[in-house]
Every structure is written in structure tokens, then in C-alpha cells.
Amino acid sequence: MASLSPLPSPDFDLSPEALVAARPWLKRHAMDGLLLEDVPLNAIADALGTPTYVYSAGTIRTRLAALTKALAGLNCQIHFAVKANDHQAVLRLMQQGGAGADVVSGGELLRARRAGILPRHIVFSGVGKTVDEIRLALSQGIYQLNVESAEELETISAIAASMGQTADIVLRINPDVDAGTHAKITTGKADNKFGIPYDDAAALYAHAATLPGIRPQGLALHIGSQILNMAPYRAAFARAAELIRHLRASGQTVTRMDCGGGIGILYADAPEASPEAFAGAIRQAFGGMDLSLATEPGRWLVGPAGVLLSSVILTKAEGRFTVLDAAMNDLVRPAMYDAFHAIVPVGPNNGGELSPTDLVGPVCETGDTFARARPMPRLAPGARVAILEAGAYGAVMGSTYNSRTLPAIAMVDGGHWATIRARQSIEAIWAGETVPDFLG
Ligand code: LLP
């Protein structure tokens, strides 16, 4: 099973200076140490403590603008995959940059609305929408529901009809294409739980057109996440285009194609997927087909824009292990997918010779390891590090395992910064818990 992202090649330069140099949103200041945009990360850690997530508003804006530009002329909407980072400040940046939202729960839908994203810019994906969530989506009047099964189609039809509404839907097809990414986030293979089998889709589409309360508008697909190579996209898009031609030839109306997300970013030495290449794959398959196109990227827009700040608690075994105050409950990707995250000292005063150390968290699991044998300067207790590319699938996947409170979050913008989530209190962790009377 491939890891996500795979370890860099052995000759890859893992020195903190090389890692910073490859990321234009980071700078090293001689006196202040590491900066995100123009804000010293030490200033944020001094004020809020650690572990703390920090997001760069400027980087999110720049990336959304770059993807928007690459898609220009394609009649292609961007629906940000809220699951990657659901903070309302991030959603507000998306809204201001002209993006809508791809949501997978009633909670995400309500968050997107709170952040100012209009219902007509919201699509609802997911393999198990509840009756309440479908009702919520229909009562809000969202743009479309991406239907993942024949069973769900019947449920939506019944609910919409009972509400006297017509639901705009697209069928999410499973194109049976291997995205070449980590097995746990591959979604477009026939044996994954997602979507409608390709061979069943035409008949189901024709059936949908006969159902009360349903207006089939087109197709959707999403083949996986952290995809760096365009070949799987091209293969999946070609299959979808073929199906659209077949549907139209058989008299169906097809106006929309949702191309999914999954565009990969730089974690180690593999360069990120270019928005132009992604747009090119869309153009090649669907250009000239007179479709309203959409895409639902999450990671590409926000992953690079976030860091997780952490402090060294202690080093042990002569520096073999560096124990941080961040743990797998704060950022689970290394434990869950063997994901590689670059880690750099915040500084300013920890130059010096690099020697390999395992950067681990305090949680009582061996999997609570952020990096193995990573070249680092000797880090004294209290020294700070930044774990990079933590803006996507970071805070959103956090838990309070080991009764660890959820970290604070800050956002920087140019030279400004603000706290956008206070560190959770221990009381908030157990609020809502009760000990039943019968226990005395
Ligand atoms: N659309 C659908 C239907 C999805 O299921 C996903 C992600 C996306 C869009 C956005 O994919 P993105 O552009 O962010 O790759 N927790 C994992 C990633 C899980 C992705 C799940 N679906 C990780 O940390 O790598």
C-alpha cells in the first residue's frame, strides 16, 4: 500500500533551510525566526501557546485565484470541499474569492451558510445522507445533491415530492479508475463504497428522469485525493464524457458535470499538480460539450496554507526521540496514512549541526509519530517547530483522545494575525457528560 504522501527519495534535501526555500509563503528572519507571510510564528506561539494551528489567508487567496485563472473560459465553478478545512474564516475567504462549497453533512452545510456562501453555490456529496440532511438541503434550496446510489435516489424523490419540491441531482458515477494514491483515500475503484457502478448509471439516469421530485442534471465523479498525475483524471473524465454522449443520444438532458477534487500538493519532493494541467484534462474531455462544469478541490486550496506549531517537551535517548506537545489527536495524517509532513524549527537560534531524530507526540501509541530519523538541529525543551502542509485534513480531523484539548487556531494576513479559535478548555471536553444517578 502506498503511503500518503510517500517518503521522499533518500537524496532529497530535508534540511530545514531547503524545506523553507521551497515554500514561498514561509520566510526565515534572522532575529524573529520563521515567518508565515510577514508574521513571526513565535509571536503567535508566545501569545497562544502550543500546539496551535496557523493559517495564511494570503496563501489561500493566491491559490484560489490561481485555480480560478486556470479554469477561466471553461464555465467551471469551484466548490471548495469543506471537509478539508471547515473553519468559518477559511470558508469566508472562499466565498470572497468566488468559490462555493461541497458539503458532506448537515453540519458542513450550516457552516457554509454561516460563512456567507449562498445555497445556490452549495453541492451536497456523500454516500450516506440522512433523511434530515436531505430535508435540510432541499429546504435551503442548494444547487444540487450528488446522488451515490439507487436507494438514495428513491429516498430523495420521496422526500422532495412530500415537500412539493423538485431536487436538482447529479449521479455520482464510479468510473472504476485507480487514482494511484493511498488505498484509504482512493474512491473511484469498483470495490470502493462510492458512487454508482459505471455500467448501471445510464439506466438509473433514465429512471431518475421518471421519478417525482427529481430533475437529473448530469453526472459527478471523484476518484480520490492527493492525485499528482493527470492520467487517472483523463481516464475517468473520458469515461464520463462517453456516458454523457450516450445519455444525450438516448434522449436524456445532461447539463452539468462535476469533476470532483483530489488535486495533489507538495508534501515532500514530488511537485504539486498544476492547476493548468488539471484544467487541461477537464478541457480535453468536456470542452465544447456545452456543460456547466464544476470541481470540488479541498487540499490544493488550503493544505499548504497551514502549519501546526508545536514545542519540544523533551528529548530522550541522546536525541534519538524528540517529544513534542502536539500529537496524533491534533494532526492524525502521519499516524493514519503514514503521511509525510515536512517539519522545520521555528528558531531563531537553532542552527547548528543536523542529526536524525524521531519527532513524536506524547500520546500512548507508537503510531503517534510525526517523522522518523528526520535531520534536525539539537532542539532543547521549549524549542518550537512548525509542521508544514497542515492546512488540509489537519484541525478538522482532530480529536480529544487522551483528554487532550483541541488546539488554538490563528490566521495571518500580510503582517496581521488574529486568533480564530481559542484553545479548548478541559471543561469543554467533558461538558455534556453525566454520571447516571444509579452509580450513586
Ligand atoms: N469531493 C469528494 C466527493 C470527496 O470525497 C473529497 C475528499 C473531495 C472532493 C476533496 O478532495 P481533495 O481535493 O481535498 O483531495 N483525510 C485524507 C483525505 C480524505 C479525502 C476525502 N474526500 C487526508 O488527510 O489525506
210-to-143, 215, 221, 264, 381 alpha-carbon distances in Å: 20, 9, 23, 39, 67
| pLDDT tens by residue, 94-145 | 999 999 999 999 999 999 999 999 999 999 999 999 999 999 999 999 999 9
pLDDT at 147 exceeding the cut of 70 = yes
Length of the chain: 440
In this chain, the answer to whether the domains covering 16-56+303-423 and 58-302 adopt an identical fold is no
Neighbours of 388 (CB within 10 A): 23
Probe residue for ligand 1, chosen from 1, 83, 103, 258 as the CB with the greatest number of ligand atoms within 8 Å: 83
Q: What is the three-class DSSP state of 388?
A: coil
Give the atom of ligand 1 at the shortest distance from the alpha carbon of 299.
14
| pLDDT tens by residue, 195-213 | 999 999 999 999 999 999 9
Give the atom of ligand 1 at the shortest distance from the alpha carbon of 227.
15
Å from CA of 392 to ligand 1 middle: 9
Tell me which of 363 and 349 has the higher pLDDT.
363
The whole-number pLDDT of residue 190 equals 75
Distance between CA atoms of residues 129 and 80, nearest Å: 19
| pLDDT tens by residue, 221-274 | 999 999 999 999 999 999 999 999 999 999 999 999 999 999 999 999 899 999
| pLDDT tens by residue, 154-167 | 999 999 999 999 99
pLDDT at 315 exceeding the cut of 70 = yes
| pLDDT tens by residue, 5-55 | 667 888 888 888 899 999 999 999 999 999 999 999 999 999 999 999 999
| pLDDT tens by residue, 385-423 | 999 999 999 999 999 999 999 999 999 999 999 999 999
Tell me, rounded to whole angstroms, the distance of Cα 13 from its chain centroid: 26
Give the atom of ligand 1 at the shortest distance from the alpha carbon of 172.
3
- Give 62-66 contacts, CB < 8 A, sequence gap 24+: 63/300, 63/301, 63/302, 63/304, 63/305, 64/93, 64/94, 64/97, 64/98, 64/99, 64/301, 65/97, 66/275
Nearest alpha carbon to residue 282 among 120, 38, 116, 75: 75
Probe residue for ligand 1, chosen from 5, 105, 295, 299 as the CB with the greatest number of ligand atoms within 8 Å: 299
Å from CA of 5 to ligand 1 middle: 14
CATH for 16-56+303-423, options being 3.40.50.1470, 3.40.50.2300, 2.40.37.10, 3.90.1010.10: 2.40.37.10
Output the CATH code of domain 58-302: 3.20.20.10
Give ligand 1 pocket residues (Cβ under 6 A). Answer: 4, 81, 83-84, 102, 125, 185, 187, 222, 225-226, 260-263, 296-300, 333, 337, 392-393
pLDDT at 76 exceeding the cut of 80 = yes
pLDDT at 352 exceeding the cut of 90 = no
pLDDT at 87 exceeding the cut of 80 = yes
Å from CA of 43 to ligand 1 middle: 32
The whole-number pLDDT of residue 185 equals 66
| pLDDT tens by residue, 183-197 | 766 677 777 888 999
Å from CA of 298 to ligand 1 middle: 6
Å from CA of 82 to ligand 1 middle: 9
- Strand residues in 41-112 grouped as ranges (E): 52-56, 76-81, 100-103
Probe residue for ligand 1, chosen from 225, 266, 296 as the CB with the greatest number of ligand atoms within 8 Å: 225
- Residue located via cell numbers 498544476: 274
Give the atom of ligand 1 at the shortest distance from the alpha carbon of 296.
9
Q: Is 88 exposed, middle or buried (0-12, 13-18, 19+ CB in 10 A)?
A: middle
Probe residue for ligand 1, chosen from 296, 300, 399 as the CB with the greatest number of ligand atoms within 8 Å: 296
Tell me, rounded to whole angstroms, the distance of Cα 310 from its chain centroid: 21
Catalytic (active-site) positions: 364
Contacts for 307 with CB less than 8 Å, ≥ 6 apart: 36, 41, 53, 54, 386, 387, 388, 390, 391
The whole-number pLDDT of residue 1 equals 38
| Domain boundaries of the chain, sorted by first residue | 16-56+303-423, 58-302
- Residue located via cell numbers 470540488: 296
- Residue located via cell numbers 496557523: 54
Give the atom of ligand 1 at the shortest distance from the alpha carbon of 332.
24
Distance between CA atoms of residues 71 and 63, nearest Å: 12
Of 62-71, 341-350, 394-403, the least confident: 341-350
pLDDT at 3 exceeding the cut of 80 = no
Å from CA of 154 to ligand 1 middle: 26
Neighbours of 271 (CB within 10 A): 10
Alpha carbon nearest to ligand 1 atom 9, residue: 261
Q: How does 393-402 read in b/e, with b if 16+ C-beta sit within 10 Å?
A: bbbbbbeeee
Grid cell listed for 44? 503567535
Å from CA of 84 to ligand 1 middle: 7
